[in-house]
Amino acid sequence: ESIRLNHVVMQVIDQYKTTYANPILLIDDAVHSTVTGDHDKLVQVLTNLLSNAIKFSHAASEINISMHNEQQRVVVRISDQGIGIPQEQIASLFQKFRRVDNSEAKRIGGTGLGLAICKEILNSHEGEIGIESEEGIGTTVWFSLPLQLPNNEKDQSFVTIDSDNDDKPNVMI
């Protein structure tokens, strides 16, 4: 299935905008964002990551989502200004039921499955996922997926085939 990842991102942001007060900002710099995969599963990845960003943020702090192309991949970054994650615990959080072991994170709660599910879904899409975080400052979770190459490369160049964002920069609040 061909999926416009920027549409999936906008769809998930829309769902959260109605229930959460945090400003969610999307900067879409991806000229190309068509990937091959399972639509519902990619919605699930975005939902898990955005729900974490909201859940572990301070009330009404900003969440920034950005999209851009890097080599032949699309990279999505979800950045929050929340409680952050201790450096030494980041790598283990992709295991099932793993949660940050401190009082602040425990107070917020969760089952510890979201990131493990994201990793599994991304693995099955040739995707990658990573976390950069600083305690007390915030967290950025990024993931990347291979772009779907155009069928007819001799007629249309890679960058012009999918220019669905002519009105760049595309910022949505």
Q: Which residues bind Mg ion (CB under 5 A)?
A: 52, 114
Q: Does 82 bind ligand ATP (CB under 6 A)?
A: yes
- Which string of b and e fits 153-163 if b means at least 16 CB within 10 Å? eeeeeeeebbe
Stretch that binds ligand ATP, among 2-10, 98-106, 152-160, 165-173 (CB under 6 A): 98-106
52 or 66: CB nearest Mg ion = 52
Neighbour-count burial of 150, counting CB atoms closer than 10 A to its CB (0-12 exposed, 13-18 middle, 19+ buried)? middle
Q: Per the structure block, which two tokens stand in for 167?
A: 């009105």
Residue 50 and residue 15: Cα distance in Å, rounded? 10
Residues 30-49 that bind ligand ATP (CB under 6 A): 48
* Residue of the chain from 24, 65, 83, 129 that contacts ligand ATP (CB under 6 A): 83
Residue with smaller CB distance to ligand ATP, 36 or 61: 61
Residues numbered 103 to 122 that lie near ligand ATP (CB under 6 A) are 105, 110-116
13 binds, among Mg ion, ligand ATP, none (CB under 5 to 8 A by kind): none
Helix (H) or strand (E) holding 4, with range, is strand 2-4
Rounded CA-CA distance 152/81 in Å is 43
Residue whose C-alpha is closest to residue 45's, from 9, 75, 20:
9
159 binds ligand ATP (CB under 6 A): no
20 binds, among Mg ion, ligand ATP, none (CB under 5 to 8 A by kind): none
